[in-house]
Every structure is written in structure tokens, then in C-alpha cells.
Structure 1
């Protein structure tokens, strides 16, 4: 799959050098060029989420390159800021704004430039995987809470139904149709309990006993009082 790259640079000579270096690094590049903040925003508005790598100049005709980092479409891209300006505050400002790294333009021709790009992309991939892992954990925590609540809310009325069926059966004054109806009620109730228990076990809820009743405690919730 092509590595979609956005270059935000108004200096044509430097941009040409940058493209040569990039294509020497990877043959599967798809490069899009923008020469101003306004043009960069238009590109991102149209299909910004496709870019995995964005290289932006700090000084552009209509503003600072880091202004583009406010665009929501750049959230999943690895960002490299570049500038010919040697001002000491530029690197810190670029990284603070969201760039993964800052380079002086003279460093683009150095041997370490291409390994740096690999490192930037790898770091971004790790960050994205960490975000997804945390999202999955959050979803599972929500599922556990919902399952714990669901089991409690189902068991209360289900217990009343099964208890009522037991009382009716214990009277002994039932015809065959009534006994069959009670059997279906009890079997269905036990089936519901089994399904809920299986769901809770699948979510690794903590099994506890309260008043001789098997229940599931959701990790992180306060313990029940005895």
C-alpha cells in the first residue's frame, strides 16, 4: 500500500530535493504538494485522513506551518517540521504543536535523514496501537459494567418467576398441561441464567458469592457489603 505523504513547502528547489530524497527512501510513495497554509487546509479538507506522513515548512507565505497541525485530519499522521531558520525556539514550538521531530533544511541531505523517517513512522504506529489498545480496554470495561448490571437486573425478576413456579409446583394440584407449562417456565428460566453466566464468564467478571447466590463482581467497582 502506498505511503501517502503531504509536503507543505513553498520553496520549489528545496521541495525538489526533498522529493528526490523521499523517493530514494521508498518507491511506494504517493506525494501531494501544498505551497501555503490555505492550500494545505484545502487538501486536508478534501481527503486529509489518507496521509500517513506530513512534512511541513515552518515559514510559509500565509503563516507558520505548525498552524496546519490544528486540522483534525492530521491526528493520525507522523509529522516532520523543517525550516532554514536557526531560531532556537522553533524546534520546541514545533514539537509542542504536535510534530514528531524538527529538522533544519540542511539536514535533509544527511545520511541520518532517511532512518529518521523510519523511526518517526514506527513511533507513530506504536502510538496509534497504544491508543487502540486503550480504546479496546475502555470498551471492555464498559461491557463488563453493562453485563454486571444486566445480570443483576435479569436475576431479580427471574428469581421471582422461578420461585413462583416452584411454589405452584409444590402444591401438587396440577393437571398435565399445567405441569408442562411449569416445566417450560423453569427450563427457560434456567436457560436464561446459563446464558447470562456464560456472558459474564466470557468477559472475565470476578465470581463472588453473596447470600448463597452466585454473582459477578465487576473489577474496579466497590465491594458489596456483607
Structure 2
């Protein structure tokens, strides 16, 4: 669609020691879009590599997935903002359709519903945790989503108005919960989910998954957020 291939989109890529995956990920950023790699304390040269590959690097010293995502959001200045993991498990090129849907007014938030491709793409414990959270999300918001995937697109000013506060694993869920509270139209699109490069920092173990679920349960226990009620229209 006209305009989406121009510099109207920033892609936030939270990064902690992802040098192995960065070339694959950055090569798939749509032409004209800006890649915002948020370095969250990498020790493997990820930041320098990202710069050499043409990305804009944002440093966030406060550890946490949400801290990195929000730092990228605050650094963005495009009309549309997208989020994608930086581990080569998801193709950011698929975001063109997501942004097109938001720009055309068919949705306010588009999420990628992960469909595993290949052995080890989505460990059982991580999938079980995701299913449990999706069920709790339905009870809390009424949204019949199947996944809380990290591949997503929306308008930047609208998501800033949600005033997200979580800076840990609950950040992606808080975004969806507050979007629902604000009356956003949320939709899912199937996306291939590939075996990641390297080891997951969040759901690579049962312990990591438990911490993520704990953070997200705290988000679901929050009272409805009213600051951004009324949606994005």
C-alpha cells in the first residue's frame, strides 16, 4: 500500500546477545522501514554489529524485556510502530500486511499467531504457558486470542496513550489488556514460528516460563485502565 514502504514504520527489536541472529533479522526488515535495535546489555557485540548492518541502536541499561521494548517505543518517531523478537524465530517482513491492516482501518492492533515450523520451534512448557495466559486473557477482556505473540503492529501515538508501565515479561500482555480496555480492534494473523538462534532468555526453561507467567498474572490482576478509553479512532 502507498506510504507503508516509505519511512513511516519503525520496528522495535529488543536485543540481548543476539549477534548470531541479527544478520538474518535485519536483512528482512522491509525496505524504507527503520530497525530500532534496543541493546539490553549485550556482551557479544550485538550493538556494533547492528550498527554495521544499518540499524539504529538504542541502549537500555535496565534489564527486562519490557524495559527494552518501551525504550524502543520511546525512540520511535514513525506513524506506525512494530515489535519483533530479535532471535530469528519470526520474519519481520511479514509485518507489511500487519501495518497495511492498521493503516486501512481494519484493526488497531495486529498480532502474529505463532505456528511452529520445525522441531524445537516452540518448547512444550512455553506453549503451555502461552495457552494458559490466552485463556486468562479471554476471561479478563473477552478477546478470543490464541497467542500473545511478539510480532505486532499498531499506531505509535495510540500505544503511547496506553501508558504502559510493566518493564518485565508482562509488557506484551499489558499492551493487549490495555488495548482491549480502550476499545481497540485486535486481530490475529497466522505466522510461521521458526527455531530461534541461541537460547531463549525468557521461556527457554521451565523456570523462565514460570517467571514470565507470574509477571503476566500480575498484569491480569490490574484494574481496568481508563486513561486511554475510547480506542484509536
TM-score by structure 2 length?
0.26
Task: State the structure with bigger RCO (CA 8 A, min sep 6), 1 or 2.
Answer: 2
Find the structure with the greater CA-based Rg.
1
TM-score by structure 1 length?
0.26
Larger helix proportion of the pair: 1
